[in-house]
């Protein structure tokens, strides 16, 4: 019996449809995916994403912090909003309340466990005796565990506080964001370790990070958005304290190489985590590349003098650890207030360590598209698992 013939037109149509589908799913994977419904964000990190944890529990920043957007200090170590603020806005949420802030907090859209000076590993020198926060990543996990259990008790009890707590189903549907690790490297440098010794510590640091991701996963987290660390060798507090060979952007080359080593190991860890946590959607975000572009080609993006702090005093980089932003400096026998520069909107660095609001918005806009993510998923599609 002769097989029925399929018209040439139908074959061509099917082929074209197949090629179009292949193009959409292979070359532009984000176009084929629906946006996720993230009802909440839970953030873990350091000062790059701290919205008030350090200020509420240890020591608040003073003016001129917060001057650009909030017109007053609001617990952020910047002149205005941070990357996490713009990411929250992108998802249609208000600013995240710091878990440690007991005044006027609302956790109905998530919570922020980040505190300035936090590390992944328990630091040797803890504030105020040393320069690092006791709220390292393992403690942030414990705080998250507390919030998850106690928030539901409060919701079940009812009353005025019930509406300020996240709903139970939010914990499995939320986006879990991470931006931490820079201070682990900084602790090594300021602890007089060599570049080689800091490099050697990276596997143990990454191991601690992965362990906490697994514990948070065990509590129901499924969508993870993980930032790598930025070019630490481009920051004035490194450049002013550790004279080193510089690259074409003027950044300390060997210190950036440590950050790149950390990022490589972090990326390898995310690959392993995808195998270990089969239900998780894990997005690795190359923040380093976006940040470095601001130092390499500042004029292209409307910035100037990226290695010079906007708020600071002294030296080539306008940074001195004894005359920090918001403090005082002795000039010609008298004390002066260390304030900000005339126009923070064209500056990359705010206070020698942290980025300006303008830089934070630039970085957020870039990474939200998925162009710097592995897998290449936009922020709003970070609930989708990568294909094996």
Q: Which residues are catalytic?
A: 47, 351, 354
Return the structure tokens found at 343.
């126009």
User: 169: part of which helix (H) or strand (E)?
Assistant: none
Sign of the alpha-carbon torsion through 42, 46, 51, 55: positive
* Alpha-helix residue ranges (DSSP H) falling in the chain: 8-22, 53-57, 83-90, 137-157, 170-173, 182-190, 195-218, 236-239, 253-276, 287-296, 357-368
Return the structure tokens found at 173.
């549907």
Contact (CB, 8 A) for 117 and 47: yes
CB-CB neighbours of 104 under 10 Å? 8
Contact (CB, 8 A) for 96 and 177: no
At 132, is the secondary structure helix, strand, or coil? strand
Report d(CA 384, CA 388) in Å as an integer. 12
CB-CB neighbours of 70 under 10 Å? 17
């Amino acid at each position: 019996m002769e097989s029925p013939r399929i018209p040439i037109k139908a074959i061509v149509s099917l082929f074209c449809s197949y090629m179009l589908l292949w193009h959409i799913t292979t070359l532009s994977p984000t176009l084929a995916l629906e946006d996720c419904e993230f009802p909440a964000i839970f953030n873990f990190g350091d000062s790059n994403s701290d919205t008030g944890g350090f200020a509420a529990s240890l020591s608040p920043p003073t003016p001129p912090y917060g001057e650009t957007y909030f017109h007053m200090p609001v617990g952020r170590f910047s002149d205005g909003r941070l990357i996490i603020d713009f990411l929250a806005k992108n998802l249609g949420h208000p600013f995240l309340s710091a878990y440690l802030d007991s005044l006027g907090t609302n956790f109905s859209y998530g919570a922020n466990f980040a505190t300035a000076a936090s590390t992944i590993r328990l630091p040797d020198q803890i504030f105020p005796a040393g320069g690092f926060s006791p709220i390292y990543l393992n403690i942030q996990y414990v705080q998250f565990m507390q919030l998850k259990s106690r928030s539901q008790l409060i919701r079940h009890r009812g009353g005025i506080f019930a509406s300020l707590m996240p709903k139970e189903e939010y914990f499995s549907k939320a986006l879990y964001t991470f931006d931490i690790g820079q201070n682990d490297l900084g602790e090594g440098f300021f602890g007089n370790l060599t570049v080689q010794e800091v490099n050697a510590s990276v596997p143990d640091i990454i191991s601690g990070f992965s362990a906490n991701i697994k514990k948070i996963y065990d509590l129901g987290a499924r969508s993870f958005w993980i930032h790598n660390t930025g070019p630490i060798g481009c920051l004035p507090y490194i450049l002013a304290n550790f004279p080193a060979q510089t690259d074409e952007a003027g950044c300390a080359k060997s210190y950036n190489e440590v950050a790149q080593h950390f990022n490589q190991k972090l990326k390898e860890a995310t690959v392993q985590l995808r195998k270990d946590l089969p239900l998780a959607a894990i997005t690795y975000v190359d923040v380093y590349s976006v940040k470095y572009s601001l130092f390499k080609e500042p004029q292209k993006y409307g910035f100037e003098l990226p290695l010079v702090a906007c708020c600071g005093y002294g030296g080539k980089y306008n940074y001195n650890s004894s005359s920090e932003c918001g403090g005082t400096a002795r000039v010609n026998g008298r004390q002066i207030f260390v304030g900000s520069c005339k126009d923070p909107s064209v500056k990359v660095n705010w206070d020698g360590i942290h980025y300006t609001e303008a830089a934070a918005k630039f970085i957020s806009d870039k990474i939200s598209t998925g162009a710097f993510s592995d897998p290449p998923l936009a922020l709003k599609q970070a609930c989708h698992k990568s294909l094996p």
